[in-house]
Amino acid sequence: MRMKQFLTISSGLLTVVCGHLNDNPAQIVIAGGAIIPETTDPIESWLNMEIPYAFDGVLNNIGPDGAKATGAGSGIVIASPSHSNPDYYYTWTRDAALTIKYLVESLASDDDPGLRRIIERYITSQAHLQTISNPSGSLSSGGLGEPKLRADGSAFHGPWGRPQRDGPALRATALIAYANLLIDHGKSSTAYSTVWPIIQNDLSYVTEFWNATTFDLWEEVRGSSFFTTAVQYQALVQGASLAQKLGDSCPHCQTQAPQILCFLQTFWTGSSILANFGSDRSGKDANSLLGTIHTFDPNAGCDEHTFQPCSSRALANHKVVVDSFRSLYPINSDISPGQAVAIGRYPEDVYQGGHPWYLCTLAAAEQLYDALYQWELMGNLSISDMSLVFFRDLYPSTATGTYSRGTDTFAAVTAAVKVYADGFLRIIQKYTPSTGALAEQFSRSDGSPLSALDLTWSYAALLTAHRARERALVLNPTTTSPPRSPSSTIPPPLPRTCTPSSAKGPYVPVTNVTWPRPTCLTPPRTVAVRFNVLASTVFGEDILLVGSIPELGEWDVRNQGLKLNANAYSGVTPLWYRTVMLQSGVDFEFKFVRVNRDGEVRWEEGLNRESVVPRECGVVNATINAVWRS
């Protein structure tokens, strides 16, 4: 008896979504509601193609349906499909949380049922991962600080830099964002009963261990990290705000947050941010750029204590970090101050040869877009003695002072910052291969991709930088409200002296995560079905899809077979894919077909594949994952 293969909700929804046009023929709407205008500007044209690819790259790396996440558990975000040199086929708490935070923000812009399902699967998986005992401990004894777990959700017992205390804070922040979204949609009870208990465990970890030794986000330095401290503070402030909305409390959040903020000030050297205590390196590190953008609060203005992107501290530090790479890499040679360059992790880096990273270069751009947004929102920008060195690289006649929107100086300076920020994107454009695939690094010598392929964080970094750019460039302060920021409550006062402290618990395992079933009058009439097949090919070969129903060519492979897309193909994951709109509830048979350059047709072996298009409320996307049968 042949079993029918039932479809599951897709993690590859973008292929269809990005083809949707709104009422303006010069605009393309992608998942999350982002609008990409058609333009002749090379950077805009590139973004029109690359942003959908990057979104798809993220979804491909999320189990169980992601085309490149074969074997990953439901809701598990893998760092990369790479299994060797380096082996990144694991889930990092930090990387996954930053990725899901972007998806939550996308969902807030466009309430896509498939995207909501992916996020809820992630949350369910995290409740389980919190209970997994690992080398860092159990739920109540430090286990939440374990940096990574296996893709199937089991513990990793190999040697590693552990614990890493940024993960729980970032996961809490991602889940807080989703809880706030649920509240906005009248689902406070789900936020309280389902999401809040998972958040509480992570907040408990932060309040207990924020003052304990940690490995930095690069998992190399054991000591104290600016990035970790910054995101820990953000998590507690946002956690306290969410607790209040839910009619609960987080007393340890309110007592520990001021002390974390006090400790955060010690990373400021007077001219830049010291990335880590406990290291003999210079302290110039993209850690600080990432800490600034991932604690961005649009309603905090240019606050110095929280190192907001437009603060004098953050801008002075931006110059110091960027300049540390100007003469380091051959691909940066002959680039003048005030122009963008490729950015690595830190100047002393030797990992994989010590090269620029896509996500670090994108962080330099994103900070500047965030700053532009803040200045427009406030209606002015201030240049201090501290930040003057940053501004003079971009606009040499700049002087200290406060300049209001509408003045020539405000217009000139913000235009120069925008050009500078775009310059970092142009670096990424220059060194992104024609396929659009983003690895972890690119060569310091010629810009070719290096290290782990299809790095989830690289894709997420491009997406968040693009969103920051879009937000900064379209803001009309008279008509546009700032994005909701759960951290924009009144921050706790900065203590006069820092007091090392800790507050334990509570920790409660969350073992039964349930989500309300979607309700609708009628199920969707059509479903976007994505077909993924791993099929190694040689140059000139194509993979086609053909099947028993009209949408799949009714077995007429030569005249109506559907050619699959290979722009995500690599030696690690030889992926061919295509999304087809099918009638919900339809039974069908299908097969994949190989066609060589001479037109010779070769069908995959075995019986016809069978499937059924789902017909359920809220299910508008589905996926079939397959491997070529030979």
Cite the active site residues: 216, 219
Residue 337 Cα distances to 341, 398, 412, 420, angstroms: 9, 15, 18, 10
Non-local (6+) Cβ contacts of 238 within 8 A are: 172, 173, 176, 486, 487
DSSP state string for 249-313? --HHHHHHHHHHHHHHGGGB-SSSB--EES--S----HHHHHHHHTT--TTSTT-TTTT-TTSHH
Phi–psi pair at 555, nearest 5 degrees: 70, 5
Show the tokens assigned to 306: 């929280």
Report which of 196, 210, 193 is spatially closest to residue 238, judged by C-alpha positions: 196
Residues forming the annotated binding site for substrate? Answer: 160
How far is Cα 397 from Cα 400, in angstroms, rounded to an integer? 10
How far is Cα 383 from Cα 366, in angstroms, rounded to an integer? 20
Burial 28-61 (b: 16+ CB within 10 A, else e): bbbbbebebeeeeeebeebbbebbbbbbbbbbbb
Q: Are 256 and 209 in contact (CB under 8 A)?
A: no
Q: Are 614 and 7 in contact (CB under 8 A)?
A: yes
Mode of pairing for the β-strands spanning 5-6 and 609-612: parallel
Show the tokens assigned to 286: 């993209």
Q: Are 485 and 297 in contact (CB under 8 A)?
A: yes
Q: Are 466 and 358 in contact (CB under 8 A)?
A: no
Q: Are 125 and 75 in contact (CB under 8 A)?
A: yes
Show the tokens assigned to 327: 């003469």
Report which of 449, 444, 426, 442 is spatially closest to residue 330, judged by C-alpha positions: 444
CA atoms lying within 13 Å on the CB side of residue 419: 12
Show the tokens assigned to 422: 């775009």
Q: Are 212 and 224 in contact (CB under 8 A)?
A: no
Report which of 227, 148, 126 is spatially closest to residue 511, judged by C-alpha positions: 126
Q: Are 7 and 616 in contact (CB under 8 A)?
A: no
Q: Which residues pair with 21 in a beta bridge?
A: 28
How far is Cα 48 from Cα 43, in angstroms, rounded to an integer? 9
